[in-house]
């Protein structure tokens, strides 16, 4: 049964279009129901057990920037974190 379901979601040009639409055509309101205001849907970095999701999302970005040793004038190409958390 799983093979049949998988076959119906084939990544042919037409199937890929349907698969992309099923994932990306959901509304912002839908994601806002379970994401924090940063709207990032990649992993967060919880520094403490008491950290909120928003604090953990910001801590993740801060940690990445520190590890990359980013400074004034540096640029980041952000791919795949949600709605542009680095764009602030």
Confidence of residue 86 (pLDDT cuts 50, 70, 90): confident
pTM higher than the cut 0.95: no
**Cα–Cα distance measured from residue 33 to residue 30, given in angstroms and rounded to the nearest whole number:** 6
Reported confidence tier of residue 5, pLDDT bands at 50, 70, 90: low
Query: At 30, which helix (H) or strand (E)?
Result: helix 28-32
Per-residue pLDDT tens digits for 12-44: 888 778 877 777 778 888 888 988 888 888 889
Domain ranges of the chain: 1-27, 35-88
Closest CA to 34 of 13, 55, 15, 53: 53
């Amino acid at each position: 049964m799983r093979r049949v379901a998988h076959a119906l979601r084939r990544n042919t040009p037409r199937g890929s279009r349907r698969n992309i639409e099923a994932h990306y055509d959901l509304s912002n309101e839908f994601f806002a129901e379970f994401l924090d205001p940063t709207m990032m849907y990649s992993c967060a970095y919880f520094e403490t057990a008491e950290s909120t999701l928003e604090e953990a999302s910001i801590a993740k970005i801060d940690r990445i920037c520190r590890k990359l040793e980013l400074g004034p004038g540096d640029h980041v190409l952000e791919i795949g974190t949600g709605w542009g958390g680095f764009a602030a």
